Chains A and B, each alone.
Chain A
Amino acid sequence: MKKNPLSLQVDMEDFLPATDAEKEYMVQMRPSTTFFKDGMKRLLRNKVATVSMIIIIVITLAAIIIPYFWPYSYDTMLGVRPGKPVDASFNNLAPFQYGKTELKRIEAGEKVFPHVFGTDSAGRDYFIRVVYGTRVSLGVGFFASLIVLVIGITMGSIAGYCGGKVDMFIMRLVDIIYSLPDTLMIILLASVMKVALGPVIDNNPVLNKLGSNMISLFIVFALLYWVSMARQIRGQILSLKEQEYVLAARSTGAKAGWIITKHLIPNCISVIIISTALQIPSAIFTESFLSYLGLGVNAPMPSLGSLASEALNGLTSYPYRMVIPAITISLIVLSLNLFGDGLRDAFDPKLKS
């Protein structure tokens, strides 16, 4: 039937059910990839980042698991026994050597677990001290980054979303903290908090276990290190909040908190992942630096920095005690840095320089 081209009459043929051939078009050829999967795929294609990730996983697992079955503990002085004079033969053992009583037990046919890295000047098994030091350093890096992450996201998203006076106030605060020389301020606060927090910590069993230095370290991180994260999140949110979907959410009556948590922060996730990954090695660096100055973890708890610092005294006779923590900390920081770079390339190719 010939139709007048200007007719407004509906063409019924357009409304026929789809044929099988037409339905084929709608079938998904390949499952759609999520943001996370896509990033992981790109990450795993990067050999350097993959190797670094494996190294980090191995070191972390070792630091968590080994203390459970290792027969020595990090603070037992092997030469000291109740009711007997101190057995000095346990102090400063070279790797794979044994103290007097242990030698007797070996002669008697017993099996004694070797001191893989020897013992330190107080007769403590050095291997387990290094493992514990790694655990402490990794733990500090991880938790400090977590604190920075939470505070940075909160402040950054509030500043970015609210804008106006709130933004002004937060950003001036950020500017000021940013221009403070952080290491000096950390040393100052850490050296004071050790004294100031003493009584509070001693009365609390949980805090007491952590030690005053560790707590002041976390407080300092919480006070000073959130600024760069907050800056990045703010920048991201400033550009995101002009997007149409935020307008749509707002026009359907969504509240600020909902928009921030459901729409804005998920879209900042690449910035968050990357800066957290790069924050961990910097926190480990700072912790080792403070431990080296004697402001880190409380003795007898070791950290890689304090182990290196103690080893400096016996450098001529026991150089390996310096080298072992030095290599461990360098390996950890190196892998974390390379992994962080890999993450950046994988999750935010735009940032790639």
Chain B
Amino acid sequence: MSSKTLKYILKRIAMAILTIWIVITVTFFVMRAVPGGPFLSEKAVSEAAQKALEAKYGMDKPLMVQYFTYLKDIVTKFDFGPSIKLRGRMVIDVIIDGMRTSVKLGVCAAAIALVFGVVLGAVAALRRNGFADKVIMVLTTAFISMPSFIIGSLMVLILSVKLGWFPANGETAKGLILPVIALSLSPMANITRLTRSSMLDVLGQDYIRTARAKGVPPMKIIFGHALKNSLIPVITYVGPMLAYIVTGSLVIEQVFAVPGIGRAFVSSITGRDYPLIMGTTIVLATLIVIMNLVSDILYKLVDPRINLE
């Protein structure tokens, strides 16, 4: 690793930390700017009760003090405070609970998207303008143009309501099959197109011709030379893909009633559970920022020629 690469990595890490800090700050002040505060509810609360609640959640102190306490608790203890609507539960527990299911969902979706995307993209590139290529391109174009909640709802409609093959409810292991597929289709389509175009690019390179001229068996050319090099651009997509999967799971978990962090987030919005909204936003945002960071660094390490500045 050259010192230039190291400098780049350090700079990216600093940028990521800055971003996370901005997310925390924006989230905090935006939430505190809401008129009426988090205790604004349908029931009228007496002055004394309001004061007591504010004291309990530490909201009677000056804003900056609250901010630094919040920041300190997050950094040192991963403590996002108690949830307002879910009585007696800490925000971090709700998040960890949700994460158990969501991580399974997200990792499976990402794995499927990567494997099938690369395979389909390679097939499409090798059979350029052939039947398989055309079918793959039409399908991927369709998947890219459909919002994930539409794909999910149509899958519920056809596969569980009409045909009854899968449960529409995502609470069991079998019930996770449909949400995983619904979540993976759009990133898979993107990876397919990315692999196809970069594979076509690589197949036109001189070193492939050289390998062919030397009599290297076609399979070895495809796997040893072409595919390996055409995967480099795919690495850049891994970060955005994971971001897509994280946000996509917000609606997909809603559609399939998966008890994950996405559903907790959406219900915290409708229930105006401000500490929970803040906590989930910060955790999910941190996740996305870290994944983008890893994907960028990997890209730089795999191909140091690339200048990402």
Which of A90-98, A124-132, A188-196, A226-234 is the interface stretch?
A: A188-196
**Shortest CB distance A235–B (Å):** 12
B90 within 8 A of A: no
B50 within 8 A of A: no
Chain B, residues 252-277, CB within 8 Å of chain A (1/0): the string is 00110000000001100110100001
Residues of B within 8 Å of A192, CB to CB, are 30-31, 33-34
Residues B243 and A181 in contact, CB atoms below 8 Å apart: yes
CB contact between B277 and one of A185, A188, A285, A294 (< 8 Å): that residue? A188
CB contact between A330 and one of B35, B142, B254, B285 (< 8 Å): that residue? B142
Residues B255 and A334 in contact, CB atoms below 8 Å apart: no
In the complex the two chains form, what is the Cα distance from A180 to B141 in whole Å? 27
Known: A176-B19, A195-B36, A293-B250. A319 touches B161 (CB 8 A): yes
Residues of A within 8 Å of B162, CB to CB, are 319
Which of A73-81, A148-156, A262-270, A308-316 is the interface stretch?
A: A308-316
A246 within 8 A of B: no
Residues of A within 8 Å of B277, CB to CB, are 188, 191
A288 within 8 A of B: yes
Residues A294 and B281 in contact, CB atoms below 8 Å apart: no
In the complex the two chains form, what is the Cα distance from A176 to B23 in whole Å? 10
**Shortest CB distance A339–B (Å):** 12
Residues of B within 8 Å of A308, CB to CB, are 149-150, 153
Residues A175 and B269 in contact, CB atoms below 8 Å apart: no
Please classify the interface of chain A as helix (H, G, I), strand (E, B), loop, or mixed, using the class held by over half of its residues: helix
Known: A181-B289, A333-B145. A191 touches B269 (CB 8 A): yes
- Tell me the nearest residue of chain A to B269, going by C-beta: A191
A179 within 8 A of B: yes
In the complex the two chains form, what is the Cα distance from A323 to B162 in whole Å? 13
Residues of B within 8 Å of A198, CB to CB, are 35
Interface centre among B36, B149, B254, B292 (most CB of A within 10 A): B149
Residues A326 and B153 in contact, CB atoms below 8 Å apart: yes
**Shortest CB distance A225–B (Å):** 15
Residues of A within 8 Å of B154, CB to CB, are 322-323, 326
Residues of B within 8 Å of A316, CB to CB, are 161
Residues of B within 8 Å of A319, CB to CB, are 157, 161-162
Residues of B within 8 Å of A72, CB to CB, are none
Interface residues on A, range: 35 or more
**Shortest CB distance B271–A (Å):** 11
B156 within 8 A of A: yes
**Shortest CB distance B207–A (Å):** 21
**Shortest CB distance B139–A (Å):** 12
Residues of B within 8 Å of A305, CB to CB, are 147, 149
Residues A289 and B31 in contact, CB atoms below 8 Å apart: no
In the complex the two chains form, what is the Cα distance from A285 to B244 in whole Å? 13
B288 within 8 A of A: yes
Chain A, residues 170-191, CB within 8 Å of chain B (1/0): the string is 0000011001110111011101
A259 within 8 A of B: no
B284 within 8 A of A: yes
CB contact between A184 and one of B150, B156, B247 (< 8 Å): that residue? B247
- Tell me the nearest residue of chain A to B200, going by C-beta: A353
**Shortest CB distance B284–A (Å):** 6
Q: Which of A141-176 contact B (CB under 8 A)?
A: 175-176
B86 within 8 A of A: no
In the complex the two chains form, what is the Cα distance from A310 to B289 in whole Å? 33
Residues B149 and A289 in contact, CB atoms below 8 Å apart: yes
In the complex the two chains form, what is the Cα distance from A191 to B281 in whole Å? 12
A338 within 8 A of B: yes
B26 within 8 A of A: yes
**Shortest CB distance B262–A (Å):** 10
Residues B145 and A184 in contact, CB atoms below 8 Å apart: no
**Shortest CB distance A328–B (Å):** 10
Residues of A within 8 Å of B292, CB to CB, are 179
Residues B146 and A330 in contact, CB atoms below 8 Å apart: yes
Known: A176-B22, A196-B33, A337-B145. A181 touches B153 (CB 8 A): no
CB contact between A329 and one of B16, B31, B147, B197 (< 8 Å): that residue? B147
Known: A180-B22, A183-B247, A184-B281. A315 touches B145 (CB 8 A): no
Known: A289-B149, A294-B270. A189 touches B30 (CB 8 A): yes
CB contact between A315 and one of B18, B156, B251 (< 8 Å): that residue? B156
B66 within 8 A of A: no
In the complex the two chains form, what is the Cα distance from A285 to B292 in whole Å? 22
In the complex the two chains form, what is the Cα distance from A322 to B255 in whole Å? 12
Interface centre among A181, A187, A319, A323 (most CB of B within 10 A): A181
- Tell me the nearest residue of chain B to A183, going by C-beta: B247
Can you name 5 A-B residue pairings with CB atoms under 8 Å? Answer: A176-B19, A185-B26, A196-B34, A326-B146, A333-B147
Across chains A and B, which 9 residue pairs bring their CB atoms closest together, nearest first?
A334-B145, A183-B247, A181-B288, A333-B145, A326-B150, A179-B19, A181-B285, A330-B146, A191-B269
Q: A176-B18, A293-B269, A334-B141 are in contact. List 12 more A-B contacts (CB 8 A).
A: A180-B23, A181-B23, A181-B243, A187-B265, A289-B147, A289-B251, A312-B153, A319-B161, A319-B162, A326-B153, A330-B147, A337-B141
